[in-house]
Structure 1
Amino acid sequence: MSWIGRAASPNGLRVFEAAARHLSFTAAARELRSTQSAVSQQVRALEEQLGLPLFERIYRGVRLTEAGQALFVSVQEGFATIDRTIDRLQHRHRHPHVNILTDFSFAAYWLMPRLPRFRERHPHIDVRIVTNQGVLDWRTQEVDVAIVFCDERTLAAGVPRLFHEEVFPVCSPGFLQQHGPIESPERLAELPLLTLTADQGQSWLDWPSYFAQLAGIGYLESSELTFNNYTLLIQAAIAGQGIGMGWRGLVDDLLDGGMLVGLHGLALRSPRGYGLIDAQPEASSEAKRALQEWVLAGAAQPRDACEGEVGRTRAE
């Protein structure tokens, strides 16, 4: 069919489509703001180009031949595809979008509570969030920005840091009332601890490394609740089922709301942390730039309420 595309002009096909849809040269001329004779000449020229009769002239009108009917279906499908593409491109121009890759924890506890503020400021930007609990590889996905937990080497390579990895035990107010005070690593190790597994290569702190770095004591993980999803772990802590490890920047709103209590005297800090990665540095856009600036500004806002209570910290 490629020879048809070369022989038939786009304008001729448009005139043919209108005439075939109305089964009337006169009605097609009204739609196209032309004349009946001009439409008839365009159709005749198209028939000559293709070497096929497309219409049968009948009393007070026309009807499609078998070839005309087949061409009509194809032309309508082609024009519909073009119209959909134009609509999609115009929508994208009017509503630019930015795709964010991050983990469930950051999306649930930092990004989603703050995202309405971004949308209020930039209502024309569509934000699409892609989440994964495993190791996040932004190079293999169609995303513009990645907000991921990074090791020291990645951050040292120039990736903007949103906040350091600062962890401290968290529990429900009721759990603390029942088991408190909890003021030493030794006392903490005696209590039910909620464990987040790192079986997919994540580099965040776990309880054994936390106790070793904070106090130089060994800790064997007990048979308490273990999760591979931080959101579920936090829900268990809120329900009073044990003590979880809280990350500064993720649990702040839960602490402010009184759903969790932070044992800040047992805080530990490392050089790792969440970083903001431009997944497509060669592709610049106002939407991506606006989101990056907003994320960096939001992460830079101080959390003064808890700063004075942070106790022992130690860099790896």
Structure 2
Amino acid sequence: MAERPLDLGWIRVLEAVGRLGSLTAAAHELGLSQPAVSYTIRQLEDQLGTTLLARGPRGSTLSAAGRVLHRAAATAQAGIDDSTRTIRRMGRQKVVRLFTDYGFASFWMMPRVARFRRVHPDAQVHIIASASADPGIDDAGDVAVLFGARGDFPVEAVQLFEERVVPVCGPGFAARHGLAEHPERIGAMALLHLESTPRPRWFGWRDWFAAQGTARQPHSGDLGLNTYGMVVQAAIAEQGVALGWSGLIDSALKDGTLVAIGAPLERSEHGYWLLPGPDLTEPARDLIDWIIAEVAREREAAP
């Protein structure tokens, strides 16, 4: 069923009469009587003090003044009709807000959000990313994906990824320093640190070296960065070695932008968790189901 256009009064009447060249045809198209169309045109002529139509046995043609006003009316009607369609589409669009940190937003969600839109074209995802996204934030969105431990989250939270990190760097950096063959040299390299709180929720370089049974003093070339996106970009730019989180750097490892050069470190009770909001809408449920299914599909496809 065609959508009902906004009532534009005389603008729509004049546009139809000028385009069709007939009061009767315009009345039929607009669903009005011929006298009603004629009355509207005469009112316009009275207000303007000039003739807009030349009426004849073969129909009505626009006068010079009528052509000027008709051009303006046709342009205005087209613009208003286009805006009306846009507004109505906005009203039908289903918005779901996803709250997460910069790492998940940049490296997992953004490269895949177009897939969700293809399956759910009427849903619009608003990604709200924050450097301070932590388990203590409530009611931040319809869906949240946050990093932490099992005990940080309610029972309904679903774990998407276990925490697993591995040292990574650019392939040129690894080749120059022989890190693929001698990962023990990592301790002598400049390290890229993701800055954290005094009690970090994720692995840091100290944890990794402790797991290897060694300790490492700060290096003059070490670089601290406050978002994971900057850490990854610095590693790609061969400014040092970073810790790469599974689920976030998988595509970079697959395409060779980054290479893994050391032993992995993992803990199953930590990682990214999906939290449903308190009052789930249909698009929020669709997004939750899609994220869980996408993670499962990629896990099954992994070598």
Same fold (TM over 0.5): yes
CA distance in 2, matches of 1:61, 1:269: 83
Counterpart position of 1:101: 99
3-state SS, counterpart of residue 146 of structure 2 = strand
Runs (5+) with no aligned partner, structure 2: 1-6, 11-26, 36-44, 48-82
2:234–2:240 contact (8 Å) kept in structure 1: yes
Q: Which amino acid aligns with 1:198?
A: S
- Using the TM superposition, give the Cα deviation of residue 169 of structure 1 relative to its aligned residue in structure 2, in angstroms: 0.3
| Partner Cα separation in structure 1 for residue 268 and residue 205 of structure 2 | 14
2:280 aligned residue (265, 279, 283): 283
- Which of 290, 294, 301 is equivalent to 1:294? 290
Residue of structure 2 in register with 1:45 after alignment: none
The answer as to whether partners of 2:116 and 2:290 remain within 8 angstroms in 1 is yes
Q: CA deviation at 1:175?
A: 1.2
Match of 2:20 in 1: none
Can you list the C-alpha shifts for 1:255-298, whole angstroms capped at 9, x where unaligned? 0111000135343334211011112x23332x111110110011
Judging changes above 3 Å, is the alpha-carbon distance between structure 1 residues 109 and 162 closer, same or farther for their aligned structure 2 residues? same
Question: CA, structure 1 residues 302+192, in 2 after alignment: closer, same or farther (shift >3 Å)?
Answer: same
* 1:183 corresponding residue in structure 2: 183
User: Which secondary structure state, in structure 2, belongs to the residue aligned with residue 110 of structure 1?
Assistant: helix
Does the C-alpha gap of structure 1 residues 179 and 299 become closer, same or farther in structure 2, counting only changes over 3 Å?
same
More moved, 223-232 vs 247-256: 223-232
Q: Which letter maps to 2:251?
A: D
Residues matched between the structures, number: 250
Q: 2:252 aligns with which of 254, 265, 270?
A: 254
In 1, Cα distance between equivalents of 2:240 and 2:98? 32
Q: 2:194 aligns with which of 193, 196, 199?
A: 196
How large is the RMSD of aligned CA atoms in angstroms? 4.0
List structure 1 runs of 4+ shifted beyond 4 angstroms.
30-34, 87-90, 303-306
In 2, Cα distance between equivalents of 1:171 and 1:273: 22
Give the partner amino acid of 1:238: I
Structure 1, unmatched stretches of 5+, are 1-13, 20-29, 37-59, 63-83, 307-316
CA distance in 2, matches of 1:291, 1:138: 20
Displacement of 1:135 after TM fit?
3.2
TM-score normalised by structure 2 residue count:
0.66
Distance 2:252 2:229 in 1: 12
Q: Distance between the aligned counterparts of 1:297 and 1:130, measured in 2? A: 21
1:166 aligns with 2:164: yes
Match of 2:214 in 1: 217
**TM-score, normalising length: structure 1:** 0.64
Q: Which residue of the partner structure matches residue 226 of structure 1?
A: 224
Match of 2:238, SS?
coil
